[in-house]
Amino acid sequence: MKTCLLAGLLSALAVCAHAQRPPDDDQLGAWYMYFFQKRFQQSPWGIQGDYQLRTWNGTNDLEQLLLRTGVTYRPASNDITFTAGYAFIQTGDFGESRESVNESRLYQEALFPQKLGNRFYLTHRWRFEQRWVDDQDMRTRIRYNLFVNVALNKQVIEKGTLYLALYNEIFVNGQTAIGDGRSVQLFDRNRFYTGLGYGVSKPLRLQVGWMEQTTAAWSKGQLQISAHHFF
C-alpha cells in the first residue's frame, strides 16, 4: 500500500512539474548507457558504476557525458546495498552551441530490493549528492527512484527472460542559491521511463525504452538504450 501511494505521489509531481519545453521539443534525444556491478567473492564489498553518453538529438548534439563509479557494501544480514562514489559530468548546451559545463560530484546511495508476487521486482533507491558545478557554489541534491521490473515470459529475470522495465525518479535540490545572486528552484527534475528488457545471459541484460524528463524549465523525451552487466 505504501509503495502504491508513493508511486502515485511521484506521478502527480511529474504532472505538476511540467514546464516549458526547449526548442525542437519534438526532436527525440537519446541516451546510450552501460551499467555494471561487481561483488567480490566471499566479501560484502564490491564496485558499481555507469558510463553514459546523452545527446539532445540522438547523434551529435551533446547533452551530457557522465562517468560514475562507486564502492559498494552489502551487509550479510540483509539485501540492502550501500554505495559511495564519484562522478564526472560534462553538460552541453541545447542546439548549435558547443559550449559545455563540467561538474564533479560525490554521491552516497542505498538500494532496497523488494519482490511482489511471482513476477514483480521492485528496487527503491535513495541517493544524496554533493555537486561542484563550474561557476556555481557547491550544492546538494536528494533523489528517489522507484524501479519496477515485471517478468513476462518467466517468473525469474534470467537468461531468456523478457521483462517490462519501469521507473520514476524525482530530484530535489538541497539549496536554491547557487552564487552571485543566482538561484534554482527546489524541484530540480523528474524522470519517467518505460521500456523492455531481455536477459541475454546470466550476467547481461539489454534494455530499450523511452524516458520523459521534466525539469523546472522544460520537458523532453529521450530514447534509452542500456546494457546492465553483473559479474
Number of domains in the chain: 1
Q: Which residue has the cell 554533493?
A: 130
Q: Which three cell numbers stand for residue 138?
A: 557547491
CA distances 37 to 22, 79, 133, 159, Å, are 35, 15, 27, 17
* pLDDT confidence bin for 24, thresholds 50/70/90: low
Q: Report pLDDT for 182.
A: 96
Is the pLDDT score of 80 beyond 70? yes
CATH number at residue 170: 2.40.160.40
Q: Which residue has the cell 535513495?
A: 126
Average pLDDT in the 82-89 region? 98
Cα 134-140-145 angle, rounded to 5 deg: 115
Tens-place pLDDT, residues 58-70: 888 999 999 999 9
Q: Are 189 and 16 in contact (CB under 8 A)?
A: no
* pLDDT confidence bin for 20, thresholds 50/70/90: very low
- Contact residues for 204 (Cβ-Cβ < 8 A; gap 6+): 227, 228, 229, 230
Domain containing residue 26: 2-230
Compute the distance between CA of residue 83 and CA of residue 101 in angstroms, rounded to an integer.
26
pTM of the model: 0.87
How crowded is residue 197: how many other Cβ atoms within 10 Å of its Cβ? 22
